[in-house]
Amino acid sequence: MTATALYTDLSGYYDLMCADIDYREQSEQVRRLHQLFGNGGNEYLDLACGTGPHIRHFIDFGYSASGVDINQPMLDIARLRCPAARFFQQDMSVLQVESPLDLISCFLYSIHYNQSIAQLKACIKNVHAALAPGGIFCFNSVSKNLIDNRPGIKRNLKQGDSEFCFQSNWYYPGDGEHQQLQLCIEKTTHGQTETWRDQHPMVALDFQQMQQLLEPYFDVHIFEHNYRTILPWNQLSGNAIFLGIKK
């Protein structure tokens, strides 16, 4: 079993784990930001697209959509959900695209799956190269200084004969450029419980560092992590939405 079983062996349970996420709301917010700041084009790419929930909405909005993910089992589910989209198995730090894009997104803090600052830098450079003039890069991020290492809230869900319990939290050891997403998944069927403990290595940085990495390539705006309104980041919250307009 890998350290990131959720995206391979357990990929069939990913959507169940994310059942509380309002993907439509997130997609509508990024679409609004694109309408406000973008170049009017409709070529869309979602990085670390997972099972394709955002891509589904962008296709419904009228975009021509594609997705990149490193794990093929996630892409297999995305393909079923979005037959009109194109999917590519790639590590986003070495992103290469066939033709220029107008909007590139990366949701659910997945930008942190770049494994180091050097790889994040390479990813940003490649995203910039993949965008058409005036193209937009939009993602959310968590600041390493404001990570709460305590275990997250447990969520219980039922599917068929099985009860699932999902728990996740960030862990940052206090220094260095690495943090973890720690996940515990328990599946109980007819009284038998199986447990998986995932530890996802991710890059850790603060928002000032993120801004500095983006600025050579993008005009940068930072917004509150709120998908219902567009408000500038209040300089205090540890989650934010970053938007870069290609220079």
Ligand X SMILES: C[S@@+](CC[C@H](N)C(=O)[O-])C[C@H]1O[C@@H](n2cnc3c(N)ncnc32)[C@H](O)[C@@H]1O
What residues does 97 pair with on adjacent strands?
Answer: none
CB 247 within 8 A of CB 218: yes
Phi first, then psi: what are they for 87, rounded to 5°? -125, 145
Round to whole Å and give the CA distance between 162 and 187. Answer: 6
| CB nearer to ligand X: pick between 122 and 220 | 122
CB 125 within 8 A of CB 137: no
Could you tell me which residues come within 8 angstroms of residue 51 by beta carbon, excluding any fewer than 6 positions away? 11, 14, 15, 74, 77, 78, 81
| CB nearer to ligand X: pick between 188 and 196 | 196
Burial of 30 (0-12, 13-18, 19+ CB in 10 A): buried
Question: Which of 105-113, 141-149, 151-159, 190-198 is the region at the interface with ligand X (rule: CB under 6 A)?
Answer: 105-113
| CB nearer to ligand X: pick between 109 and 233 | 109
| CB nearer to ligand X: pick between 69 and 102 | 69
> What does the angle CA 28 – CA 34 – CA 40 come to, to the nearest 5 degrees?
125
For residue 113, state whether it binds ligand X (rule: CB under 6 A): yes
Question: Which of 31-39, 102-110, 133-141, 185-193 is the region at the interface with ligand X (rule: CB under 6 A)?
Answer: 102-110
| CB nearer to ligand X: pick between 39 and 117 | 117
- 130 Rama class: left (phi>0) / alpha (psi -120 to 50) / beta: alpha
Scanning residues 81 to 100, which ones bind ligand X (CB under 6 A)? Answer: 91-93
Round to whole Å and give the CA distance between 222 and 240. Answer: 7
Would you say how long the chain is, in residues? 247
For residue 165, state whether it binds ligand X (rule: CB under 6 A): no
CB 155 within 8 A of CB 52: no
For residue 186, state whether it binds ligand X (rule: CB under 6 A): no
Round to whole Å and give the CA distance between 132 and 136. Answer: 9
For residue 7, state whether it binds ligand X (rule: CB under 6 A): yes
Residue 95: CB minimum distance to ligand X, A:
8
Question: Which of 68-76, 125-133, 147-155, 235-243 is the region at the interface with ligand X (rule: CB under 6 A)?
Answer: 68-76
For residue 137, state whether it binds ligand X (rule: CB under 6 A): no
Residue 180: CB minimum distance to ligand X, A:
13
For residue 110, state whether it binds ligand X (rule: CB under 6 A): yes
| Near ligand X by CB under 6 A: residue from 39, 42, 64, 71 | 71
| CB nearer to ligand X: pick between 41 and 52 | 52
Scanning residues 37 to 56, which ones bind ligand X (CB under 6 A)? Answer: 48-50, 53
Residues within the interface to ligand X (CB under 6 A): 7, 18, 48-50, 53, 68-71, 74, 91-93, 107-108, 110, 113
